[in-house]
Amino acid sequence: MNQKMPYKIIERPELRDQLRVFRNRVHAGEVLADMLSSYGKTEAIVLAIPAGGVPVAAAMAERLHIPLDVAVVSKITLPWNTEAGYGAVAFDGTMRLNEDLLPRLGLTDGQIQEGIKQTTQKVLRRVKRFRSDRPFPDLTKRQVILVDDGLASGFTMLVAVEALRKAGARQICVASPTGHGSSLPRIASEVEALYCANIRSGFSFALADAYEQWTDVTEEEAIAIYRESGGRT
């Protein structure tokens, strides 16, 4: 009988359940790069999820001497709380709703469809701004390092992985500075490896708590970092 290989999660045990372990996103990217040192100077490619994932991924790509690009994915946010989401849309139109969460939110079908529409437009705009007319890189023979600045529910990351599989990626590892322990196994089961330096547990979880300096990364800031870092394959 064929059995699925157990998922692989790599962490920094000394950082487990610790707060303020990174100075900023650049430092977090450097820590991750050290964890993924075996990918240095290889044919691997770092794909950042904008906007917050870009400074982390740029620091990783620079330290590992491998190319940087973006995989645009955005969560579908609640009308009354833009920090919380109930689904996500990816660069290729891949869309998934959190069917377990939706019944508890009380959203109308109209609100859900409007959220999908607005998020799709946001993703298309970001793809155009980041990538212009450049084709998406060929991932069929490359190891992909998919990066965000943190994993709370991990739902957006799952949609990103699904889209990259459709794009031909055969070898995907996810890298994130921080993440909630309850969300990581589900993500790890969909990829070849998951690197998370700072795994935390508990009822309350905020990405910002892993960083000494935390501010939202604007789209303009992310684009500037991306271009300054080469932003090409």
- In order, the DSSP letters of the chain are ---PPPP-EEE-GGGTT-SS-BSSHHHHHHHHHHHTGGGTTSS-EEEE-TTTHHHHHHHHHHHHT--EEE--EEEEEETTEEEEEEEEEETTS-EEE-TTTGGGT---HHHHHHHHHHHHHHHHHHHHHHHTTPPPPP-TTSEEEEE-S-BSS-HHHHHHHHHHHHTT--EEEEEEEEEETTTHHHHHTTSSEEEEEEEE-SS---GGGGBSS--PPPHHHHHHHHHHT----
Per-residue pLDDT band at 106 (split at 50, 70, 90): confident
What range does the domain containing 192 cover?
9-73+138-228
pLDDT at 231: 67
pTM: 0.93
Residue 46 has pLDDT above 70, yes or no: yes
Let me know if residue 174 belongs to a domain: yes
Residue in the block written with tokens 């905020």:
206
Let me know if residue 104 belongs to a domain: no
Q: What is the mean pLDDT of the chain?
A: 93
What's the rounded mean pLDDT across residues 19-28?
A: 98
pLDDT digits (tens, 9 = 90+) for 216-226: 999 999 999 99
Let me know if residue 68 belongs to a domain: yes
What's the rounded mean pLDDT across residues 88-117?
A: 93
Number of domains, the chain: 1
What's the CATH code of the domain at 33?
3.40.50.2020
Query: From the centroid of its chain, how far is CA 48?
Result: 6
**Residues contacting 227, CB < 8 A, separation 6+:** none
Q: What percent of the chain has pLDDT over 90?
A: 82
pLDDT at 146: 98
Let me know if residue 49 belongs to a domain: yes
Let me know if residue 128 belongs to a domain: no
pLDDT digits (tens, 9 = 90+) for 174-218: 999 999 999 999 999 999 999 999 999 998 899 999 999 999 999
Let me know if residue 62 belongs to a domain: yes
> CB-hemisphere CA count at 13 Å for 150?
21
* Nearest-angstrom CA–CA distance, 39 and 60: 10
Let me know if residue 79 belongs to a domain: no
Residue in the block written with tokens 């394959």:
233
Let me know if residue 82 belongs to a domain: no
What's the rounded mean pLDDT across residues 18-32?
A: 98
